[in-house]
């Protein structure tokens, strides 16, 4: 139980191709941000998050601006999870310390390395179980965030209309949202749409989609407006962004980790 079978590290990469593992995988994002893509869901993560992936679940990983991580494969970890999820680290970065220690001891020549890895395997499982509670939001802010997440890809979605339908003043809701998430509801919506667009551009290796196609898929009914907003955030037009990212190498799953051919 809690046996660590492989530990790897990614420096800045943009895409990891679709694959699966026979064991559990725990991925700590040490820099950047991205999304894990599963058959039935998508999990966004950022620096300081751990993505938990149970065995035999196909997944790919993409980040518009790149990401770095430490990833650990374990057999029979004592965790209560049954589906992929994101577990955030705390402000003291204790989980990061654990992942760094696991990486160090996995490749250490010290005679005590195996015993220490066994201890850290137990510790990692306990910590992930204890840390699984996500950030605490007031119910109304969580409701607004969930509504945005559920609808941001819909070009007919009207955030103002939704917020005015709630039993609180618009200004109060806006201030509460910004206080708890550090960003206004409209900025949150825009960032979601632009991030999705950037990831679609990164993963569209064949260039099969037009800029207009991607704009519509990400909730923009006006491709010109989408292009302006995209350039304001990423400093380049969508088409140029696509061309530059297509030159980036695609990282394959680690050769030394046990994985399933898809």
Distance in angstroms (rounded) separating the CA atoms of residues 181 and 177? 6
Entry field: residues in the chain: 262
User: Can you read off the two tokens belonging to residue 113?
Assistant: 């390395």
Mean pLDDT, rounded, of the chain:
87
Residues 6+ apart with CB under 8 A from 111: none
Question: What is the per-residue pLDDT across 238-256, written as a single tens digit (0 to 9) for each?
Answer: 888 766 655 554 445 565 5
* Dihedral angle, C-alpha 155, 161, 166, 171, nearest 10 °: 110
Q: Identify the domain containing residue 12 by its residue range.
A: 3-134
Could you tell me the CA-to-CA distances from 29 to 39, 44, 67, 79 in Å, in that order? 21, 11, 7, 20
Beta bridge mates, 85: 52
- Closest C-alpha among 29, 54, 55, 58 to residue 44: 29
pLDDT in tens, 80-107: 888 888 999 887 899 999 999 999 999 9
pLDDT number for residue 250 = 45
Q: Do 145 and 174 reside in the same domain of the chain?
A: yes
Residue ending a domain, among 93, 119, 134, is 134
Q: Is 237 helix (H, G, I), strand (E, B) or coil?
A: coil
The vertex-11 CA angle with 110 and 94, nearest 5°, equals 60
Is residue 164 scored above 80 in pLDDT? yes
pLDDT in tens, 29-39: 999 999 999 98
Return the CATH number at 9: 2.60.120.280
Domain-embedded: residue 90 = yes
Residue 119's nearest CA partner among 257, 258, 9, 4 is 4
Residue 13 and residue 95 in one domain: yes
pLDDT for res 131: 80
Residue 102 and residue 175 in one domain = no
Say which range, 9-13, 104-108, 232-236, has the weakest mean pLDDT: 232-236
Domain-located, residue 252: no
Cα–Cα distance measured from residue 135 to residue 151, given in angstroms and rounded to the nearest whole number: 21
Which runs of consecutive H residues, i.e. helices, occur in the chain? Answer: 94-106, 113-130, 139-151, 159-164, 170-181, 185-203, 211-217, 223-234, 238-246
- Distance separating alpha carbons of residues 73 and 7, to the nearest angstrom: 6
Both 179 and 122 in one domain: the answer is no
Total domains in the chain come to 2
| Distance between CA atoms of residues 72 and 248, nearest Å | 25
Residue 262 domain-assigned?
Answer: no
Q: Distance of alpha carbon 225 from its chain centroid, rounded?
A: 26
The answer to whether the CB of 173 falls within 8 A of the CB of 216 is: no
Task: Based on the fold, state whether residues 30 and 118 are members of the same structural domain.
Answer: yes
Q: Are residues 143 and 128 in the same domain?
A: no
Short-list 91, 92, 175, 89, CA closest to 134: 89
On whether both 70 and 150 belong to a single domain, the answer is no
> For residue 195, what pLDDT is reported?
84
Please name every residue paired with 7 in a beta bridge, in sequence order, or none if there are none: 72
pLDDT in tens, 14-63: 999 999 999 999 999 999 999 999 987 888 999 999 999 999 999 999 99
Give the residue-averaged pLDDT of 139-167. Answer: 93
């Amino acid at each position: 139980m809690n046996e660590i079978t492989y530990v790897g590290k990614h420096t800045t990469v943009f895409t990891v191709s679709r694959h699966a593992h026979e064991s559990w995988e725990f991925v700590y994002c040490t820099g950047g941000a991205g999304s894990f893509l599963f058959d039935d869901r998508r999990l966004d993560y950022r620096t300081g998050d751990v993505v938990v992936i149970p065995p035999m679940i196909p997944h790919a990983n993409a980040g518009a601006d790149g990401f770095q991580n430490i990833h650990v494969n374990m057999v029979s970890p004592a965790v209560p999870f049954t589906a992929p999820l994101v577990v955030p680290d705390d402000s003291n970065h204790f989980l990061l310390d654990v992942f760094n220690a696991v990486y160090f001891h996995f490749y250490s020549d010290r005679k005590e390395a195996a015993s220490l890895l066994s201890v850290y395997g137990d510790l990692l499982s306990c910590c992930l179980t204890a840390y699984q509670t996500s950030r605490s939001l007031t119910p109304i802010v969580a409701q607004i965030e969930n509504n945005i997440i559920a609808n941001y890809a819909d070009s007919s979605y009207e955030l103002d209309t939704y917020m005015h339908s709630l039993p609180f003043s618009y200004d109060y809701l806006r201030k509460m949202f910004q206080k708890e998430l550090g960003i206004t509801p409209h900025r949150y919506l825009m960032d979601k749409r632009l991030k999705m667009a950037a990831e679609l551009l990164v993963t569209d290796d064949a260039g099969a989609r037009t800029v207009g196609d991607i704009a519509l898929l990400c909730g923009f009914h006006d491709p010109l407006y989408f292009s302006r907003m995209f350039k304001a955030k990423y400093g380049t037009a969508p088409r140029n962004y696509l061309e530059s990212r297509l030159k980036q190498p695609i990282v394959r799953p680690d050769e030394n980790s046990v994985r399933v051919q898809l």
